[in-house]
Amino acid sequence: MTLELNRLTQAIRQMGETLARQEQGLDEWLRQARAWLDEFAEPADELRHAAAQANVPLPTAEPLNGVFPLPSLPARFTVIGADGSQIQPDRHAAAAYYLINIGSLVYRHGSGEAPEARSIPDLRYLDEDLYERNRPVQGNLLDVRRDLAEITHLADLVEQEPPGPVLALVDGTLILWVLQDESGEVVREKVTAYVAQLERIRARGGAVAAFASRPRRSEVGRLLHLARLGGDVERARETPNPLERIPDRLIFAALPPGSRSALFESGSAINREFYPAPQRVLFFYVNLAADEDEAVIARVEVPAWLTRDADLLALTHGAIVAQSRIAGSFPYVLARADELAYISGPERSELAQMVETSLLAAGLVRDVSPKAYYKSLTRQGRMG
């Protein structure tokens, strides 16, 4: 073992003591945040205008302190989850390639049918796949391709379903945050391709949402900070926000079991500038717990068009809670999709060996880099 844990004993003890002190101060600010939710429950148009300028969430027609109970569900409905993983191009490997693996699960509630599991790998190695605008496809660019593959696969599955209520779920977000440092041209191209898949789901009459477990965002806290300063955008930017580091999930931890919060429109610049109005992303928080003992708060993102249909919004809310209570506070379809998409270390090694064998069979002799060779030895315990 190379990590000397005994050297961390004092630092870990201090960490525990410090976090305990921080927790004590947090309770008071949480009480204040919930009081502000009540005080500014019915926001004026001036606050909405200020929120748009400040890039904080926009209030919707629902009161900020709104509590919406768990809706009833139809006897039969379908939930489809998809998730993805990837192998990045490796300059130390024998050949340049990347792989995206998409896992999915179709769960037909009330049908008595076994869920349908799929795993679809996609290997890319041509120059047009490996480069985009003369840039290597890796990092964020590959992440976006995986996101697009996930939502495209979901749209395919939704279109294959017979008529009836259907919800498509992705893990994380509907906003392509990884593009925030890209040029406007790149963002517009990627967002256009992504929302085209959301539109396919909409055309089928389905619902679509993104689910985030234990979310860390503090967007509503920024809106409350702006509201308490009378919507003064400049003052809000200059004045320290006591809620800045308090996740929204803690503010909404008082939600009753199964209930959701009000809807808010995301203040992301990508959302405001590049997503068409019908596809603009809204979010709410929901308590997945089945009893009062402990709240389990998740964040759910949906496109604007879904929120205008009461039945689709109710399906999204109710189906996510139903799915999460199957497998312990996380949608079962996403848990299984993640399992199906996951690429293990041995699988990565086996794929690399298959690639090397294929190159040899084709008459190409290419070795991995010295670095990759020695890392393979040391990590397998073959060197002292």
Tens-place pLDDT, residues 247-264: 999 999 999 999 999 999
Domain that includes residue 67, residue range? 38-341
List the beta bridge partners of residue 226. Answer: none
Is residue 8 assigned to a domain?
no
How far is it, in rounded angstroms, from Cα 197 to Cα 185? 19
Question: Quick one: 127 and 236 in the same domain?
Answer: yes
Question: Quick one: 269 and 373 in the same domain?
Answer: no
Question: Quick one: 117 and 221 in the same domain?
Answer: yes
Q: So what's the pLDDT on residue 1?
A: 57
Whole-structure pTM value: 0.90
Among 59-68, 292-301, 309-318, 353-362, which is the least confidently predicted range? 353-362
Q: Phi and psi (nearest 5°) for 100?
A: -115, 130
Mean pLDDT of 169-175: 97
Q: Per-residue pLDDT for 382 more than 80?
A: no
Q: Per-residue pLDDT for 322 more than 90?
A: yes
Q: So what's the pLDDT on residue 376?
A: 53
CA 327 to chain centre: 18
Q: Phi and psi (nearest 5°) for 308?
A: -90, -5
Question: Quick one: 231 and 84 in the same domain?
Answer: yes
Residue 287 in contact with residue 256, Cβ under 8 Å? yes
In tens, the pLDDT along 8-25 reads 888 988 887 777 776 666
Is residue 258 assigned to a domain?
yes
3-state secondary structure of 127: helix
Higher pLDDT: 114 or 378? It is: 114
Question: Quick one: 107 and 235 in the same domain?
Answer: yes
Question: Quick one: 271 and 355 in the same domain?
Answer: no
Mean pLDDT of 295-301: 97
Q: So what's the pLDDT on residue 367?
A: 63
Is residue 12 assigned to a domain?
no
Is residue 384 assigned to a domain?
no
Higher pLDDT: 46 or 319? It is: 319
Q: Calculate the average pLDDT of the chain.
A: 91
Question: Quick one: 371 and 303 in the same domain?
Answer: no
Question: Quick one: 352 and 285 in the same domain?
Answer: no
Token pair 């009459």 in the structure block, residue: 205
Mean pLDDT of 253-278: 96
How far is it, in rounded angstroms, from Cα 335 to Cα 201? 22
Q: So what's the pLDDT on residue 197?
A: 98
For CA atoms 123, 127, 129, 135, the dihedral sign is: positive
**Closest to 84 (Cα-Cα) out of 30, 135, 147:** 147
**Cα distances (Å, whole numbers) of residue 352 to 102, 138, 287, 345, 359:** 19, 17, 43, 11, 11
In tens, the pLDDT along 173-213 reads 999 998 888 889 999 999 999 999 999 999 999 999 999 99
Question: Quick one: 223 and 304 in the same domain?
Answer: yes
CA 35 to chain centre: 29
- Other C-beta atoms closer than 10 Å to the C-beta of 154 total 25
Is residue 289 assigned to a domain?
yes
Q: So what's the pLDDT on residue 383?
A: 45
DSSP for residue 380: T
Q: So what's the pLDDT on residue 5?
A: 84
Question: Quick one: 76 and 194 in the same domain?
Answer: yes
| DSSP E strand stretches across the chain | 58-59, 77-87, 98-109, 116-124, 131-132, 135-136, 166-171, 207-213, 264-265, 281-287, 297-303
Question: Quick one: 277 and 367 in the same domain?
Answer: no
Is residue 29 assigned to a domain?
no
How far is it, in rounded angstroms, from Cα 107 to Cα 329? 17
**Cα distances (Å, whole numbers) of residue 76 to 71, 194, 323:** 14, 29, 13
253-33-24 Cα angle (round to 5):
75
Is residue 21 assigned to a domain?
no
Question: Quick one: 157 and 176 in the same domain?
Answer: yes
3-state secondary structure of 239: coil
3-state secondary structure of 169: strand
Looking at the structure of the chain, the number of domains it has is 2
How far is it, in rounded angstroms, from Cα 156 to Cα 142? 21
Q: So what's the pLDDT on residue 245?
A: 85
Q: Per-residue pLDDT for 140 more than 80?
A: yes
Is residue 136 assigned to a domain?
yes
End-to-end CA distance of the chain, in Å? 13
Token pair 């976006």 in the structure block, residue: 144
In tens, the pLDDT along 327-373 reads 789 999 999 999 999 999 999 999 999 998 899 888 887 665 555 54
Residue 153 in contact with residue 82, Cβ under 8 Å? yes
How far is it, in rounded angstroms, from Cα 280 to Cα 309? 15
